[in-house]
Amino acid sequence: MFRLTLILSLLSSTTAFGVVNRRQALMESLSSAAAVTAVVASGAAPAFAEPTDETARSVSRFGGLLEKYQDSNRGWLIMAPSGWNKFDGEVGAYDVKWQDLVDPRDNIKVSSTPVKSTTTSINALGDDVQAIGEGLATKRNAKLISASERLTEGILFYEFDFAINDGTHQLLQLSVNKGRIWSLDANTVEKRWSKKEELYRSVVGSFMPKLN
């Protein structure tokens, strides 16, 4: 449901990301990014306000519910749910997905797509994380619960919490590193969110699009 194209719909309105044309043809621009587009197109350098305090990457195993997973080929790591089914590479949808054995609506996906080499941070979208999140929520028929940013190991992350009208609750995290935009989304049904929240936030906080 929440395919990589949903992430690209956010990015397609700013030329800083240089998304390949065949993807651009499928995307709509988000009105919340219009001001960013104008600045980038004009060649002016926007003034970004970034967090200055580092937040440590989560490495908790959550009492054995999480285990370290490292993708050596693509160069990223995460604390992933242990005992869940793992699926590799559905083109245009995800790079890796973990899915609960009992209910497939509980799932976590990592996706990535290339960006221009000159784009080195997710702040190319702008520094108003709340406005970006509200734009995403509108496009997806969802309520934005929260939007935040953090700096971990020198990489800026944007994180969004959505209550989607189809009954899904989702955490979405975006970042840029090594010439790619990285998306991590963690999904469950709304009625289980209170039980899953702490675990999911630990997973999201553990993702790092580089190897230590």
Strand order in the sheet with 155-164: 85-90, 94-99, 107-114, 180-189, 168-177, 155-164, 142-152
Q: How far apart are CA 183 and CA 98, in angstroms?
A: 14
Q: What is the pLDDT of residues 147-200, one digit of tens each?
A: 999 999 999 999 999 999 999 999 999 999 999 999 999 999 999 999 999 999
Locate 190 and state its tokens: 């709304």
pLDDT at residue 49, as a whole number: 57
Locate 71 and state its tokens: 């993708």
Q: Rounded mean pLDDT of 20-38?
A: 32
pLDDT at residue 8, as a whole number: 43
Residue 62 contacts residue 48 (beta carbons within 8 Å): no
Between 42-56, 121-135, 174-188, the lowest mean confidence (pLDDT) is in 42-56
- Between 125 and 10, whose confidence is greater? 125
pLDDT at 212 over 70: yes
pLDDT at 34 over 50: no
pTM for the predicted model, two decimal places:
0.80
pLDDT at 72 over 70: yes
DSSP code of residue 6:
H
